[in-house]
Structure 1
Amino acid sequence: MRLAVLAAALSLACSSAAFAGASSSNFGEPQPDPKTRNMTRYEAKLWVFDGCLISQSRLQGTTREAVHSPCSCYATKTIDQMTKAEFDFFREKSYFDDSSREKGFRNLDACKLKRPM
């Protein structure tokens, strides 16, 4: 299920996971991952970080270790910048809403990661 959300995030213009997040208008309504429902912000950072490692290592054709620091930067910045409403949306839907996705894109650039599109 998590990979489905990541695939949606990558295709988006993205995210997300969540990555930079998927919009329901792009793919229909994806099924939420029950794991996100009660996540703390710390757990969400780990979840987004893991998705980033997978997607960015593929996008860049490199190892997960090579994108470890930039993905840590991305996950931390993106989750920390979410408002309570944005974070609640993420927990309920398992992907980023439009405003969080925009923050995610800015953080991809700031953390020197590739945009999926």
Structure 2
Amino acid sequence: MRLVSSRASKLLAAAALASLLAACQSGRTQVASLEGYTPDPALKTASKSNLKGRVSHACVVTQARFQKVAEASVEQPCGCYADRTLSSLDGGEIQSYRATGYFNDSAKAKALNALDSCKLPRPA
């Protein structure tokens, strides 16, 4: 059963991927790499469970490409990453993510720690 339309799914994947990639970029590079990016308006009202799903999906797509493996092989560690990242974020970091679609500087540090804890390589 499909829960979202194909177009919505693609937008969700793009927003999630942008947030994961932005989490691993430096501040100045981040702005340049996200030029023209518009966050999904649904982020503003998304449940924490939905945010976890978005972060996990972005991780799966990014890590599978980065490691050149099947997406299924990184689903469990990416679930770990999403759980640890979102549980470590404070209210301000969550609000920043909702507003921008990517992690702010303090959230990035927590996301990188979650990658390490879940034994996922950091994107270059």
Alpha-carbon distance in 2 for matches of 1:4, 1:39: 13
Runs of 4+ in 1 over 6 A off after TM superposition: none
Q: What's the TM-score once normalised by structure 1's chain length?
A: 0.81
Q: Which has the higher helix share?
A: 2
Aligned to 2:3: none
Shift of 1:111: 0.5
Aligned equivalent of 1:72:
79
* Contact in 1 for aligned 2:18/2:101 (Cα 8 Å): no
Q: Secondary structure at the match of 1:32?
A: coil
Partner of residue 98, structure 1: 105
TM-score by length of 2: 0.77
CA-CA distance at 1:40 after TM superposition: 1.3
Task: Check whether the contact 1:77–1:107 (CA below 8 A) recurs between aligned residues.
Answer: yes
Q: Which amino acid aligns with 1:13?
A: C
Measured at CA, do residues 8 and 84 of structure 1 come closer, stay the same or move farther in structure 2, by a change above 3 Å? Answer: closer
Contact 1:86 1:97 in 2 (8 A): yes
Question: Which segments of 5 or more consecutive residues in structure 1 lack a partner in the other structure?
Answer: 15-21
**Structure 2: segments with no counterpart, 5+ residues:** 1-10
Note if contact 1:6-1:51 (Cα within 8 Å) is conserved in structure 2.
yes
Aligned to 2:47: 40
| Pair member with larger Rg | 2
Structure 1 position 83, deviation (Å) = 0.4
Q: How does 1:5-16 map to 2 (within 5 A)?
A: 6-7=17-18, 9-10=20-21, 13-14=24-25
CA RMSD of aligned residues (A): 2.3
Change (3 A) 1:11 1:23: closer
Deviation at 1:30, TM superposition (A): 3.1
Count of aligned residue pairs for this structure pair: 110
Deviation of the 1:27 alpha carbon: 3.8
